[in-house]
Structure 1
């Protein structure tokens, strides 16, 4: 095989050519600090604000957007800042509720807050990966400071009922954070939330930039102290190039929403036919179709990856790769250790061609059959 086929869109997406072109001048020629008062600095600051507006468009153009180094930082700002603020207002609010299948950036941050006296609660999911609504209703009460739920799961692509979860949080007087990293620009966003986290490199933008969206009137204590450059919420010099790239990527997600959805839907249909003998992990009805997480009985997924070196796919979250652990998401579905290790994740999107998908599938199915 003479070329590499990329099927790992949940880990990261290719940089859109339009994004690269828009970023280049801010890397090469217009290098001024956007926090400086001189003319080049003001030009850089203006470019950052245009980008902020572009990212906000898909969020309804309202609220407040704070640029960060990525979604992990945004999640930490929202969870830690929100939990501390809520407890400061009401000492009895010490419970933080999230879902057992959340990304490590949410799950591990919630668990880490136990050292500050908070009580983490991880809600179970069913075999389809959807949260147990009764368990959520029972857990989210007057002692809850904060609830966090992912819109589209990064490993199995399942779309959680975040609107319903938000209503539970609101009724209990708790804050609600939605991790929309995998869903922004791909599926309809929740109509309302207190906080939303985003990432540039998951939407054909650059790595190293993300954002925390806050609803109007919500003020959180900062985690990073210093010059207070980013609205007092995040100190440190912003990169105009990264912000501009994020902005263009966000604008393109809005403009190409329908075209991307049609293309991804066609790829999903073909992949379902090609891998017809495999079992899908998670719901097929409530799912983003750019994520295909499947398993085959007796498959050694790690060996398959070794034998298909020219195909980029995943055994789970890129963030947990090399840990030696099987996916906590798949185990939460009730899969055995053996079944979890017989699972692979294929991710496709805007730049995946049908020929690439078919070629990769043929090679992977043949390699699996040899096992």
Structure 2
């Protein structure tokens, strides 16, 4: 099969071969349960978990006892929000353009009695810090915010959010799924979530970084594993993989991707008058571009762009026929939101890939016109 050029790294990344090599022995030779304390198989598994924690702690400057392994970022977000609001009391602040893992969890908490405020964004996808400050109430417990938006690549001012929140005694959870490995993670966040498969690690494993002083109620019970924060037999190969993937994160990679992305945007906007970039001009991650092909049917265009693998938004919303709620929150009309496509680059994207993708987009749009 002739596969298309892969430009959907924001949806998932390929497993790095170096990560795979570290994982393989834990499927066959070292297959023990990390909770088995009375023989070598269990000891080897536990040692592997500790090594993975050590890699993550060293790379991200967190304590090993503040690392909770989960099945992915969605579970990590659920644990962060539900774990803080176990009593279903208090006030949660989030943003209209958050991932559905956050918005759906917030909606569930609201149905159980938690007060929820969703901050609006401007046309560039940014929040107003003054509005955030006004939204904080005496019973506000938590602010949950993405570091980088998964559809537009807009970078949120998380450091300023954390500083403001902590002045008011409010906890902050940061969804770092799209920023880990590309930006420095914010200092002083109380909770940070991310997934292995966004950083060239395996699917089915994620992390919640949770400060020791944060009172976090477990949402999965059955053995009091991981300091009673998340029970269940640990996914040793997956944890080994995410530990290695985190250790291989290199912030310099995003610089090369940003150059390729900028050239791609410049060429398309120059050649195609219908193309407009969605999101902040300055505060966008270097590997994601969301483009509106004004006047064209985005889904039809997506199908005709058969030589490249891209998306029309978050992979988690791919079954929906509704226009992107993220783009609508930024003020785009339904028609323009339907006309928008996301291109996202990664570790293995080449200059040739982007040249071929650019030519394919231009040729396809001209053919439609």
TM-score by length of 1: 0.94
Q: What residue in structure 2 maps to residue 227 of structure 1? A: 223
1:262 to 255, 258, 266: 255
SS in 1 for 2:361: helix
1:166 to 159, 162, 166: 162
Shift of 1:2: 4.1
2:124 is the counterpart of 1:128: yes
Which runs of 5 or more residues in structure 1 are unaligned? none
2:176 is the counterpart of 1:180: yes
Instruction: Output one character per residue of 1:229-278: Cα deviation in whole Å (capped at 9) or x when no partner.
Output: 2221111111111001101100000xx322x1232122122212222242
Aligned 8 A contact 2:76 2:206 in 1: yes
Q: Give distance in 2, aligned partners of 1:295 and 1:305.
A: 12
2:299 to 299, 302, 305: 302
Q: What residue in structure 1 maps to residue 315 of structure 2? A: 318
Over the aligned positions, Cα root-mean-square deviation in angstroms equals 1.5
Shift of 1:44: 0.8
Shift of 1:297: 1.1
1:71 to 68, 73, 77: 73
Shift of 1:351: 0.3
Q: What residue in structure 1 maps to residue 201 of structure 2? A: 205
Shift of 1:59: 2.2
Aligned 8 A contact 2:93 2:119 in 1: yes
Q: What residue in structure 2 maps to residue 334 of structure 1? A: 331
Moved more, 76-85 or 236-245: 76-85
Aligned 8 A contact 1:194 1:218 in 2: yes
2:40 is the counterpart of 1:46: no
1:281 to 260, 268, 278: 278
Aligned 8 A contact 2:307 2:360 in 1: no
Shift of 1:73: 0.5
Shift of 1:54: 1.3
Instruction: Output one character per residue of 1:269-291: Cα deviation in whole Å (capped at 9) or x when no partner.
Output: 22122222421100021110100
Instruction: Output one character per residue of 1:126-164: Cα deviation in whole Å (capped at 9) or x when no partner.
Output: 101011222111101212121101001101001100111
Q: Give distance in 1, aligned partners of 2:55 and 2:124.
A: 35
Aligned 8 A contact 1:74 1:210 in 2: yes
Moved more, 53-62 or 219-228: 53-62
Q: Give distance in 1, aligned partners of 2:367 and 2:132.
A: 44
SS in 2 for 1:48: helix
Q: Give distance in 2, aligned partners of 1:28 and 1:40.
A: 11
Aligned 8 A contact 1:11 1:317 in 2: yes
TM-score by length of 2: 0.95
Aligned 8 A contact 1:299 1:342 in 2: yes
Aligned 8 A contact 1:293 1:343 in 2: yes
2:100 is the counterpart of 1:115: no
Between the two proteins, the alignment pairs up a number of residues equal to: 362
Q: Give distance in 1, aligned partners of 2:237 and 2:35.
A: 14
SS in 2 for 1:196: strand
Q: How does 1:125-164 map to 2 (within 5 A)?
A: 125-164=121-160
Instruction: Output one character per residue of 1:181-238: Cα deviation in whole Å (capped at 9) or x when no partner.
Output: 1101211211111100011000000000001101232231111110122221111111
Q: Give distance in 1, aligned partners of 2:27 and 2:359.
A: 41
Q: Give distance in 2, aligned partners of 1:289 and 1:299.
A: 26
Runs of 4+ with deviation above 4 angstroms = none
Q: What residue in structure 1 maps to residue 60 of structure 2? A: 59
Q: Give distance in 2, aligned partners of 1:342 and 1:353.
A: 26
Q: Give distance in 2, aligned partners of 1:221 and 1:296.
A: 46
